[in-house]
Chains A and B, each alone.
Chain A
Amino acid sequence: MILDVRDMAVRRGGRLVVDGVSFAARQGELLAIMGASGSGKTTVLRSIAGLDPLAGGAVDVGGVSLKAGVTPRGGVRRRLHRSVGIVFQFHHLFAHMSALDNVALAPVHVLGRPRDASDQRARELLEALGVGSRAAAMPHELSGGEAQRVAIARALAVEPAVLLMDEPTASLDRARRDDLADTLKQLTAQGRTVVIATHDEEFARAAAHRVIVMSEGRLAREG
């Protein structure tokens, strides 16, 4: 299993917002976590990405293990971030950089690749995602759909085995949602594992291989 979440618990402000969640995903799978707002699905993604610490349980992702009470540092952190990429609901593109620079940042500064090669690879990624013409644009000049594609390119630039996406359809109209479903299918066809958190049941049912449902921090059912 490329991703294995066991008995995950996450605390926020003293309250358990994720409590005893377990699931796994294999290579090339598109898994959807569904649930209403506040059900804890975003927190699950953030914890897998190492942004919110675990209060209990463990996560194995791409050969890196996260445990409760241990903040990933140094080499573990670097390996984790080469294994997992995340696309936030509001994208969080770096506001002071062009789309291209957003995508090339991690290859240059995290992977230590040469600038030219990183720019070239970033251009190819943007091209493949259909936003090659927007490489020079600043984030605030992009539409919601364009910004999402740039954010996907940025996450993919370090070639992670697992891509996490939070509410990927929130900023898209119907036509763009179909495009996104195609894009995700391509990614999984290339062997990448994709986990999306969404409350868009229609999209989840249509695009995902498997859907799990969360409610009040717990896994409600698998279907």
Chain B
Amino acid sequence: MRVVLVPLILALLVVNAAAQAVAELRWGGDAEGGAPFVEADPRDPTRVVGFDVEVAQLLAGGLGRTARFVQVGFTSLDPAAARGDFDIGLSGIEDTPARRARLAVTIPYYEFREVLTVREADRGRFRTLADLGGRRVATLGATLAYDMLVAAQAELGVVPVTYEDDVHPYSDLALGRVDAVVLDAVLADRGVRRNTGLVNQDADLGVGYYVGVLAPGQDALRDRINGLLRAGMRDGRLEAIFRRWEMWNEDQPRLYARVLAGESVELLRTAGSGSPNAWDAARRYFPALLQAAVITLILSCAAMALAVAIGALIATGRVYGPRPLQALLTAYVEVIRGTPLLLQLFVLYFGLAPLVQLPAFMAALIGLGLNYAAYESEIYRGALQAVPQGQLDAARALGLTDRQALKLVRAPQAFRLALAPMTNDFVALLKDSSLVSVITVVELTKQTSIFAANIGSWAVPGALCAALYLVLSLPLARLARRIEKKWRQA
């Protein structure tokens, strides 16, 4: 018997060891979030470091697996978790009712305070959100802080401004583009360290908790992870991690005591934390979506008007101008067409900030307008050159000057040729305008993603957003078709 069992056990051990060697705990986070959460190791950029990295390693060790990092954008962590792109998401993810309703959520492992940051000069003036009526207050999209600001918008008239990252809210605060920032204490401390002239106020805006998120149905793994987190709280290993990252404070032992005693933690009540029912949420968010659609429409129309005006000038310069001007304009068109619009917006808004501080909407308008001007100019240039030479000969033979021939004959005919591609471009611009959310303009797509992040689902917000875009673009396409038809008949 023993002779048979020993090889069997040995075999099992080998298989088990092999299985352990390949078993991984895939954990999702956003390395753009930076230290102390997750960031690329400055000494070895292929590795990540941060307290969430160490929490992931602690959990992986407890499960007998090795931790493997999966990069996911911060605002996409919930849907990625739901799809099973990773086993657990750990990236300073906040505990919210929506997350609890849609995902398997762990017990909290860190408690943070929401902190109001202002410029030193405003220390006495802006003490709490109530002092910031009518003022622009920055935060990160898809966070509790954002929900708090949305609530403060309704009650106090605060104007929320959302960012995609947690660096620029503070640099823009220092520049005076916003009057305050609300984010959690971890980010606020870092923001104040990195920018001179900022202070954190003592006002208690509320507390929140970091949790891990797993796909719905992963309750068994979640419960094992909860067990490991509790063990880490008891034996001081979590405390050691947070001390290493200088995040340990007196709030944590109190949280751990409550968690270990089996108490549930009270969640911050905010705009986004009502009923997780998608239709209720849709009703709540619809006015904001409509408002965002109006912004999209105004921005697109104004940017298109700018693009048409500048594009016409560029095309005229390239067809009629002296050679150096032609070369200059060609260079402009090639540089603008050859680089991403996203990059151009960043440069215009953040890159030029030390020289000119364009308001976000103005930067978006100029960025989109200048970018599309390059494309429009190519359409107009082609259209101008497509007007038959005979028409120009006829104009010249009648004694019209070049300028008159352009104004009275060539441009009107070119415009007819350009109308169809222009309509096409306007519809494209309408959708490209969604890119301006990176410079804090909340337009339709951004508002939708905030909405989706807060209720934890894209289905209803996505459908509403698509419907609004179609409502904006379809009548335009129809109008253009009608004008074209009229010209064909005429």
Contacts and interface: CB of A to CB of B under 8 A. Distances in A.
Co-assembled chains A and B: yes
B393 A105 contact: no
Contact of A93 (B394, B416, B487): B394
Given A88-B394, A92-B390, A93-B394, A110 B399 contact: yes
Contacts of B393: 46, 51, 88, 92
Contacts of B399: 77-78, 80-82, 106, 110, 158
A188 B390 CA distance: 27
Given A92-B390, A92-B393, A109-B408, A158 B398 contact: yes
B397 A85 contact: yes
Interface string B384-427: 00001011011111111000100011001100100000000000
Contacts of A82: 399
A81 B413 contact: no
Contact of B398 (A46, A90, A138, A154): A154
B396 A51 contact: yes
Given A105-B398, A110-B398, A94 B490 contact: no
A38 B409 CA distance: 29
Nearest to B489: A138
Contacts of A51: 393, 396-397
Contacts of A46: 393
A161 interface: no
Interface in A86-116: 86, 88, 90, 92-96, 105-106, 109-110
A88 B394 CA distance: 8
The CB with the most chain B CB atoms within 10 A, among A46, A109, A138, A158, is that of: A109
A61 to B, nearest CB: 13
A30 B422 CA distance: 49
For A46, A77, A90, A95, the residue with the greatest tally of chain B CB atoms inside 10 Å of its CB is: A95
Given A95-B413, A96-B416, A90 B390 contact: yes
Interface string A71-84: 00000011011101
Contact of B397 (A78, A81, A95): A81
A57 interface: no
A101 to B, nearest CB: 10
Contacts of A50: 396-397
Given A51-B393, A88-B393, A90-B390, A81 B490 contact: no
Interface residues of A, number: 27
B56 to A, nearest CB: 68
B398 A106 contact: yes
A49 interface: yes
Interface in B357-397: 388, 390-391, 393-397
A220 B388 CA distance: 33
A92 B398 CA distance: 12
A147 to B, nearest CB: 12
B409 A94 contact: yes
A81 B398 contact: yes
Contacts of A154: 398
A90 B390 CA distance: 8
A118 B103 CA distance: 78
A88 B398 contact: no
A106 B400 contact: yes
A166 B241 CA distance: 93
A109 B404 contact: yes
B384 to A, nearest CB: 14
A105 B396 CA distance: 12
Nearest to A90: B390
B400 A94 contact: no
Contact of A95 (B391, B396, B398): B391
Contacts of A90: 390
B400 to A, nearest CB: 6
Interface in A49-66: 49-51
Contacts of B490: 138
A76 to B, nearest CB: 11
B397 A49 contact: yes
Contacts of A78: 399
A17 B391 CA distance: 23
B63 to A, nearest CB: 75
A46 B390 CA distance: 12
> Which 6 residue pairs spanning A and B have beta carbons closest together?
A81-B399, A92-B390, A92-B394, A106-B398, A110-B399, A86-B397
15 contacts: A78-B399, A81-B397, A81-B399, A82-B399, A86-B397, A92-B394, A93-B394, A96-B409, A96-B416, A105-B400, A110-B398, A110-B400, A154-B398, A155-B397, A158-B399
Given A93-B394, A96-B416, A110-B399, 10 more contacts: A50-B397, A51-B396, A51-B397, A88-B394, A96-B409, A96-B487, A105-B408, A106-B400, A109-B404, A155-B397
Interface of A: 46, 49-51, 77-78, 80-82, 84-86, 88, 90, 92-96, 105-106, 109-110, 138, 154-155, 158
